[in-house]
């Protein structure tokens, strides 16, 4: 299994540009999520999904969109990039509550995408 994969690894954008960060998992996990990690801030939840067709907002959703058309993929879209969105982005997946009691505590993280917005 490849686990959780993310592309690209690095990206530089200009203010106002849009882009999509890709995330895929091959573990048949129902739960997927996106976090951003800023220095000294830990990880903050952007959006999450408990299954195909279902998404919800996390702690810092503004400026980001998500969709979940398949179990495997969970792309994150930046609508109009701003310098405040410069960060490292992590995608994670886990079994959902319906797949095992509290199994979503053990989230599997991808390697991250380092995004710089100029």
Partner 1 sequence: GESVGLHLPTLSVQEGDNSIINCAYSNSASDYFIWYKQESGKGPQFIIDIRSNMDKRQGQRVTVLLNKTVKHLSLQIAATQPGDSAVYFCAETEAGSYQLTFGKGTKLSVIP
Sorted by sequence, the CB contacts under 8 Å of residue 40 that are 6+ apart come out as none
Q: Tell me which residues touch partner 1 (CB under 8 A).
A: 4, 31, 33, 35, 40-45, 48, 50, 58-59, 90, 92, 96-97, 102, 104-112
Q: How far is the CB of 77 from partner 1 (least distance, A)?
A: 20
Sorted by sequence, the CB contacts under 8 Å of residue 110 that are 6+ apart come out as 3, 4, 5, 6, 23, 90, 91, 92
Q: How far is the CB of 16 from partner 1 (least distance, A)?
A: 29
Please state, as a whole number, how many other Cβ atoms lie within 10 Å of the Cβ of residue 42: 8
Q: How far is the CB of 94 from partner 1 (least distance, A)?
A: 9
Measured from the CB atom, the residue of 18 and 57 that comes closer to partner 1 is: 57
Please state, as a whole number, how many other Cβ atoms lie within 10 Å of the Cβ of residue 110: 22
Measured from the CB atom, the residue of 84 and 106 that comes closer to partner 1 is: 106
3-state secondary structure of 94: strand
Beta bridge partners of 37: 43, 88
Q: How far is the CB of 42 from partner 1 (least distance, A)?
A: 4
Measured from the CB atom, the residue of 17 and 44 that comes closer to partner 1 is: 44
Measured from the CB atom, the residue of 19 and 88 that comes closer to partner 1 is: 88
């Amino acid at each position: 299994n490849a686990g959780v994969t993310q592309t690209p690894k690095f990206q530089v954008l200009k203010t106002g540009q849009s882009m999509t960060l890709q995330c895929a998992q091959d573990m048949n996990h129902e739960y997927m999520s996106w976090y951003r990690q800023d220095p000294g801030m830990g990880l903050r939840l952007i959006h999450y999904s408990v299954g195909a067709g279902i998404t919800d907002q996390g702690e810092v959703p503004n400026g980001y969109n998500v969709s979940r058309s398949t179990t495997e993929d969970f792309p994150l879209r930046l609508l109009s990039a701003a310098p405040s969105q410069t960060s490292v982005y992590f995608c994670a997946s886990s079994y959902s509550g319906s797949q095992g009691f509290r199994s979503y505590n053990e989230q599997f993280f991808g390697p991250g995408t380092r995004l710089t917005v100029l």
